[in-house]
Structure 1
């Protein structure tokens, strides 16, 4: 596979009116010590650049195993398989790894290549937490005040599909006919599966494929607000507290 930095250097600067169905994408996934951004930390990450014209054959991938210098929670360790001993022995130092990840994302953003992550707020906020922990430049400074372009297949699926059942990456991939390239809860396998969702989504739902990069963030924010209002009505009917957070 092509070196990720070289591939990003060679990638085109995309126009604002590029439709999602024709856009280059930078897939992103993390495995972490737990689920609390700012408290927990990234232990494994993958970035994968997808050229829409060449699909898998042209993918460029970067992977990292990171020593978080904090303990794995038992629950997270059970899911992703990482142990404190393994990370201490094989993980690279977080300052170096997190800096490289952030720099590559910023390079892609400078070319208007969106960052794609399934349930994107989790991975974006985990990265922000690690940048802050290690006193590295935050993403908004790296982007010179520009809004980060992000694609969230989970959010898109919740907006366009009325299917019932769970919406984990594993179940969503099965629904759209995406074959995994490895075990789920592996950062690389999850990244590839998440990026692979875009082709069937934009084929089945042309209105999604026609979303331009310029309108991408507003479309997703509006979709999230619509979903949140509907979900909160469901919660209220069961006497439960509403969801109050925003997407990105």
Structure 2
């Protein structure tokens, strides 16, 4: 990891609980993985992007990792993210070093109440938790002295405020909010930046989003997710589809 990111995080102010989402610094996070099963699959690429809303994209501090997962790529995942076993073996960092750096940077941001932002956050958070456990590294809750991980999930927010129909992939959602991608989707850095870029137009279009405070952030999103899950499961039941049982975070 570039020391620039850690230095930028450690020089950032500790944010007050009354800080609104519209005004908050954010640490964007995205991963590419060997597959989709947390605890069994592993991270092969990750990006962290520190965003100050006062400076926007021009002030972003970015760190990226390519990781040798020491396990084979699922061919379907490889077809999406482009990584091969051969490439990762040659160019990837050893996972103990890479995953520790990622965990340390996230923990440093959390101690300053800088939320971790990820689109469909449970996936990336659980993939990281699986890798921390696999390599016998300290889990995030230990690094936070048992405190709650502060997370922003634009997918959960969008489902709560936007009643549009259709798919809600990151590509679809950025198109809806008029966000121009910086790079290609399914590149961890491009996806991270696109996810962070969603917050400003969401807050402008739905002012209640921008007014959510850090103190109320997790409860607001849990309520939003539970509301969406109840609605989705009614729809699924009418069509003989499998219900969603998982909780958010």
**Bin for the TM-score computed over the shorter chain:** over 0.9
The separation in 1 between residues aligned to 2:243 and 2:84, in whole angstroms, is: 35
The equivalences for 1:1-248 within 5 A come to: 3-248=4-249
The separation in 1 between residues aligned to 2:49 and 2:172, in whole angstroms, is: 21
Greater alpha carbon shift after TM alignment, 3-12 vs 81-90: 3-12
Q: Retained in 2: the 8 A contact 1:2–1:58? A: no
TM-score by length of 2: 0.98
Which structure 2 residue ranges, 5 or more long, are not aligned?
A: none
Cα deviation, residue 166, structure 1: 1.0
Deviations 1:33-62 (A, max 9, x none): 000000000000000000110011111010
The separation in 2 between residues aligned to 1:124 and 1:64, in whole angstroms, is: 16
Q: Secondary structure at the match of 2:124?
A: helix
Q: Retained in 2: the 8 A contact 1:2–1:60? A: no
Q: Retained in 2: the 8 A contact 1:2–1:61? A: no
Cα deviation, residue 241, structure 1: 2.7
Aligned residues: 248
Q: Secondary structure at the match of 1:3?
A: helix
Q: Retained in 2: the 8 A contact 1:106–1:142? A: yes
The separation in 1 between residues aligned to 2:247 and 2:111, in whole angstroms, is: 25
Q: Secondary structure at the match of 2:191?
A: helix
Q: Secondary structure at the match of 1:72?
A: coil
Task: Rate the CA distance shift 1:77–1:46 in 2: closer, same or farther, 3 A.
Answer: same
Which structure 1 residue ranges, 5 or more long, are not aligned?
A: none
Aligned-pair Cα RMSD in Å: 1.0
TM-score by length of 1: 0.99
Deviations 1:132-155 (A, max 9, x none): 000000111001011000000011
Q: Retained in 2: the 8 A contact 1:2–1:59? A: no
